[in-house]
Structure 1
Amino acid sequence: MSYNNSARWCKALLACAMLLSTYAGAAEKLARVTILATGGTIAGSGATSTTTVGYTAATVGVERLIAAVPELAKVADVKGEQVFQIASENMSNDHWLKLAKRVNTLLAQQDVDGIVITHGTDTLEETAYFLDLTVKSKKPVVLVGAMRPGTALSADGPINLYNAVLLAASQEAVGKGVLVAMNDQIHAARDVTKTNTSTPDSFKTPELGMLGYIQGNKPYFYHLPARKNTVDTEFDISKLEALPQVDIVYGYANVNPVALNALVGAGAKGIIHAGVGDGSLASSVKTGLVAARKQGVLIVRSSRVGQGIVARNGEANDDELDFVASDTLNPQKARILLMLALTKTSDTKQIQRMFYTY
């Protein structure tokens, strides 16, 4: 072989090698995931390694959370941002609006492929559903928390955070709405709920079922969310500075109307009635609910039971009373949907449509 031919052959091999190197680098490129920290037990600490109750929430910053799980660097290019540092029982409407706007801003950027939100478990399901209705992107958004502080012997926060980042970095999570990753399981924001005060398996989706598992560094989906979410909703919070006041009234034996009347008197624009059974209305509060509706307050019949459909015109004549039935939404999630619905309309027929849509 001549020198010129040999030189050309070497150049061709070098070019191939560089091309293969480029493809390999592209294949190894990690998804870019931003962790938005809001506080909660996952950022909490206890007095001793056996303190699993009575600890202090929201003491650890996002950089320490990330540093505690060095394995994150293997599954995503991770950045952290401290949005709030609160126990989640203090989560407010203002917090939700700020968080949703920040999520939408980040997801609009080309250098963000997914979002993980660390959150206290007490109101995690509510924040997840609010975001499910207001995030305007198909990129993954995953909420995660912990039932035990990071100082506990059996802390669940680190593995939960790892799984959440893994999920947010995956293509499998794209377009499936806002997700919750807890205890190696994947749940839809609309249907998941906290079912136990303290055990690590607290988050479940009763009856309707979780979406899948995270196992062996891979998410496995077996079900998909049926209701519209994220980019397919009609809600736009980009210019909202506040949400309408909507409150929850609890049903129980021998209930009196004092709480209902006080909330209506305090300016509630909507009331979620968490009734017994199929959203039943005790006569002692029905009068007050009817009067509130005549004053323009929107009334939604939900149930304290926690599972099942609240049937329209079942335990009350909703058509006659001009009430709305909550479908399968629990009271705390019905409140979120009604708040957002009231930013669009006060027509009960349209709001009932929304409850059957989302």
Structure 2
Amino acid sequence: MIPTLLRRGGRLSIAAALLTVSVLACAKGNIVILATGGTIAGSGASSANSASYQSAKVAVDQLIAAVPELQNVASVRGEQVFQIGSESFNNERLLQLGKRVSALLKQNDVDGVVITHGTDTLEETAYFLNLVIPSTKPVVVVGSMRPGTAMSADGKLNLYNAVSLAVSPDARGKGVLVSMNDEIHTARDVAKSVNIKTEAFRSPWGPLGLVVEGKNYWFRAPVKRHTTASEFNIDRIEKLASVEVVYGYGNMNEQAYRAYVGNGAAAIIHAGTGNGSVASQIVPVLQELRGKGVQIIRSSRVTGGGFVLRNAEQPDDKYDWIVAHDFNPQKARILAAVAMTRTSDSKELQRIFWEY
């Protein structure tokens, strides 16, 4: 632009030229990439290693430098928050990351945040942020299924799409998003459904849209409460409630439930078969634990669309149990851990599961 103006005979001072450059840079928007490790920061022994590799090896500056096209869509800078495999994302790390995201989004010079994350628990971190970050600015969580050293590595394009999405005005107000494999998903719905293919992340109700060559194509919008419509705020949360998941099956026994409660669990997510079903020998155990004040939340272990109806498989009203609606067990745990920082009333908790 500046050389064109000079060629046309206009007199452009050095100060004006610098101002023009500054305006153009600001027009692109400012995105902060928070790196936490995972496969997208992984490295394999050879280019043939797409499934066997060491995660969390590449620093955020290297990730950014590997995709120079990022500078065409946004002014990008990075921070290394963690360098871990996402299977090690505990409650304390969730809170630390959430508070950093919240602080960044309050800055006038930050238009959005991208979080690079391991895929094992990406859906849980994304949903946690969706519940507690009170901002309309885009937050996009991204990972990869193959390390950057592999043939047909997916991380570079995923990162490019995530930054392009985060800087887009049309991504504002849609809650926390997950960008993987050219698709845009809401953090509420998306789940990892396979651990080998690049199309690993799916939503039971479908993606929100697509990112194609830096352009967003939207097909639906989230309707459940999130971010600025949420009653939860990361700035007021210092500790998450202790919530544990027990996997249900026909031959199970009561030991896991009692052990978790003995170690301080305030709620148990029962990952039941089908409609959150509970084996007959476990029903009295859960009744007993509820009588002692432990919240019992029935979820479904069904892959890709478990949906638990209240009073349809168990008399939830009678037992004062909660149903997890369409949340898988791991997301039900996140919602319960956040919700129980505000209430221990089972009716209020059930309302929260319906609304979020």
TM-score, normalised on structure 1? 0.92
**Is the 2:241–2:266 Cα contact (8 Å) retained in structure 1?**
yes
What does residue 298 of structure 1 align with? 295
Change (3 A) 1:51 1:21: closer
Change (3 A) 1:23 1:60: closer
Change (3 A) 1:24 1:222: farther
- The answer for unaligned runs of 5 or more in structure 2 is 1-9
Change (3 A) 1:52 1:19: closer
Aligned partner of 1:310 among 308, 311, 334: 308
What does residue 165 of structure 2 align with? 167
Aligned partner of 1:54 among 49, 52, 57: 52
Q: Deviation per CA, 1:274-303, whole angstroms, max 9, x where unpaired?
A: 101101111121111111111111111100
**Is the 1:42–1:120 Cα contact (8 Å) retained in structure 2?**
yes
Residue 314 of structure 2 corresponds to residue 286 of structure 1:
no
How far off its partner does 1:24 sit?
Answer: 9.3
Q: Deviation per CA, 1:84-143, whole angstroms, max 9, x where unpaired?
A: 000000000000000010000000000000000000000000000000001110000000
Residue 259 of structure 2 corresponds to residue 255 of structure 1:
no
Residue 41 of structure 2 corresponds to residue 38 of structure 1:
no
The AA in structure 1 aligned to 2:262 is: G
Residue 222 of structure 2 corresponds to residue 225 of structure 1:
yes
What does residue 127 of structure 1 align with? 125
TM-score, normalised on structure 2? 0.93
What does residue 195 of structure 1 align with? 193
- The answer for unaligned runs of 5 or more in structure 1 is 1-12
The AA in structure 1 aligned to 2:169 is: Q
**Is the 2:274–2:306 Cα contact (8 Å) retained in structure 1?**
no
Alignment of 1:23-102 (within 5 A): 26=23, 29-102=27-100
Residue 176 of structure 2 corresponds to residue 178 of structure 1:
yes
What does residue 117 of structure 1 align with? 115
Query: Aligned-pair RMSD on alpha carbons?
Result: 1.8
Q: CA–CA distance in 2 between the matches of 1:165 and 1:95?
A: 23
User: Across the two proteins, how many residue pairs are aligned to each other?
Assistant: 343
Change (3 A) 1:277 1:168: same
Aligned partner of 1:143 among 137, 141, 144: 141
| Residue aligned with 2:35, SS | strand
Q: Deviation per CA, 1:240-296, whole angstroms, max 9, x where unpaired?
A: 332111000111121111111111111110000010110111112111111111111
Structure 1 runs of 4+ off > 4 angstroms?
A: 18-28
Alignment of 1:327-338 (within 5 A): 327-338=325-336
Change (3 A) 1:93 1:21: closer
Q: CA–CA distance in 1 between the matches of 2:263 and 2:95?
A: 22
**Is the 1:125–1:192 Cα contact (8 Å) retained in structure 2?**
yes
What does residue 4 of structure 1 align with? none
**Is the 2:239–2:341 Cα contact (8 Å) retained in structure 1?**
no
